Structure 1
Amino acid sequence: MLRLFPLLALLLLASGAMGQPPSFGSADDPLELGSAPFSPDRTLAEVYGGPAFLRAGWRTGVRAEATVLRGSFSASVGTTLHPGSGGLYENEADDLYDALRTIRYIRVQPREERRGVYARIGPLQGVTLGTGMLARRYKTTAAWDERRIGAEIASGVSGARVAGFIGDITGGSVVGGEVEVPTRLSIGPARGLRLGLAAAHDLSLPASGDSSLTGIEATLRGDVFSEGGLSVGPYVSFAQVLGKGGGIGVGIEADGADLGSVARAEGRVGLVFSRGRFTPGIIGPLYSVSGGRQRIVAANSFYDANLDAFELAGTPIDSMRGGVDLEVDLRSVAFGRIEGLLYTRRHFGPRALSAFSLRLAARAGPTRFEFGVEKQGFRSLLGLFGSALGEENTLLLDISFPVQALGGAHAFVRSRYGYRRLPDSEAGPQRYLVERRFEPLIGVRTRW
């Protein structure tokens, strides 16, 4: 519990602040009710059924979900079960934590004035600290049946911002936070310098020693152009994972926090020079299955009669080596209903440590669309496109839409390429294996 005190202090500081909520975690995710300003209050209920393909066979899929939006409060709970001849699909309802997993999100965020504190409980969908040197798009959903329910909170006042997160509200996961404060300093053409400090720690690992994972990050950024809600300027970042390695990042970023009162956009191009056992975004979207105590099993080494397969994919943290990385990071949210995100990082070094992220999401009335890709462990663009579905990536396609030809029925189609946890062995890390899912369901959706 003592290791949680820094986060608790950060959250108390945020709870007392007032101002424009920053872009953090899922604060402006267009697929979550409550993220868009001036959305009308509503209650939704959905029930679906149909076939579902999991691992290597077809089962029955039954899905139920309820969502409510009332003022600054919104919540969504639901689950999908897959009964078959041998009962429910493994790991789907086998422990008390599965009751928590029915939470999609519970969030509080003042919408009309866009002022106050943003707070959310639910699976983390992409948390970034600072410029992402330490934590970039950290998620807890790579292994869907093992997803953890975390929390995130953020606020800002007078140009300052504060934010924090924890990957699992029951403990034993990554915890982190950041603070950014404005200064009145200038360096050359860069005006209005802002200083940011961030830190993250993996609570599932020892608090100290070579097996621990504790990192700090500092960022200094300024503006050379600022007009009409758009600012452009340089930044420099420093990150260090204690006892392992670190790096320095430099680049140019553009931030349009409020473009015409209908959109926000941000972009960044930079270089990172790292050394030791470190790579930018070391706590990333696949950290929950390929992190401090977790590893991905090479698919061709595993079969049901070989539960002790230990041919592992990817590069563990202790085998990482520094190098030079070229980063491009772009994101835009329009009308609170459409999001586009693209991130690519080309690593030049002795290990295959490049990374790629893509997300397209939109909501229009009863129709929802989401397409997302997270990939790591390749060297160049040829590695990115030459192996579309490898062992170090996730893919998600979610579509929900009304079917007028069926008298107002609603269709829900999900294709997920992720991971499932294998049984623990006597020695070695927690192991995860690639899992493919396809769920074409049909049902009804009501709103009042």
Structure 2
Amino acid sequence: MKPLTTGELPATADPQAREGMGNSLMDRKTILFFAEAVTLAHVARPLALIEAPDTSRYHRVFACDPRCQWLLGDFAGEFCPVPSIASDTFLNRLAQGKPVYDTATLEAYVHDDLSLFEKVKPDLVIGDFRLSLSVSARLARIPYLAISNAYWSPYYRVPAYPVPSLPLTRLLPIGLATMLFRLARPLAFALHARPLDQVRRKYGMSSLGHDVRRAYTDADHVLYADLPQFFPTLSLPANHHFIGPIIWKPPVSAPLWWNTLSSERPIAYVTLGSSGQGALLPHVLQALSDLEVTVIAATAGSSLAGAIPANAYVAQYLPGDEASHRASLVVCNGGSPTSQQALAAGVPVIGIAGNLDQFLNMEAITRAGAGLTLRADRFAGTQLRESVKALLSRSEFSESARRVATQFCGLSASDRLTQVLAHHFAQGDITAHSVAGMGGK
């Protein structure tokens, strides 16, 4: 990964052309892509989008925790290390229903952000789940674009909030747990929003209210990595944009067994991702071991305990888009990255969901008829087997998934980002929302 510099210009016999090229490069806008490395998805999405901006017009910089630097592959732009909390810390807090960041962490993030801004001097920053940018970008008066999912939009008309897997809900009948969660949900959203609000108040900024959805989507522009058909919104502001699913795959080679797979049986692609229930993977493989399917599984970097069933092939990472195209169905944690890979290939999804993010995503997929949702906290091998049989035997699931795939084709996230950037820099709309965030109640 070699930083792009304006001093390294191509040789040309025409000095005037060379001078013009130099001026063009000097005039490029610097865009800082900022990933919060708590899950693979929050690194993958900005990485997929970073290739969209024209390098003759934009200088691209990518910032994330060094532990995820390997994901950049052959990215030719500039890399800047910046720390994130440990993934295990994030996932454990999420599983306990606790705020994933405390005030001290977000304050430290703000200082790290500002130090990086001073070094990079970006004209615009694009962040994925870096909540501190709500403060730091405004302090630095840098336009901020936030990548999010539409089910976290305050303007999404949620049919009904599903109950995630939490310590209390695991002990109660699901009906009672659902009722209690829906009563407590507004308080929980306020609790999760509080740390960022406290940091904002410290810097004289107005409160975002008692709703974590506003913390997740507070930016000058919000980029929803989803289909608008899946998540109908009410009175969506002009600075909120559906850019479409962001499809990405890790920079890894296919395993040795990749080209030896038989096509005689249907293929089930299984991955529980970096934010899934990794401990469930052996149980998932065992549940599928007596079905007439070939299983290809990715552990997302985790080690796999126990013996691998005879019908399963396992690797740490797989090219997810290619795996989805080869598969007849995909079993995942219900999160948007893998489920979108599956639907882009026209393949139905079984989501074994644990956290609220996964349940909200799978609710829309299930409503579209393109998949089924299982609960991670009530996982049963028999239920998974019956779900797999249903997706393989009932054509309506595949037909619905193929319909969704045609909708995916009509919306390119890279093209939409290019349009947003062009409009932004043409209009020079640098501080309209930034100034509005200052001076508060």
Q: Taking structure 2 as the reference length, what is the TM-score of the superposition?
A: 0.26
Q: Taking structure 1 as the reference length, what is the TM-score of the superposition?
A: 0.26
Higher helix proportion: 2
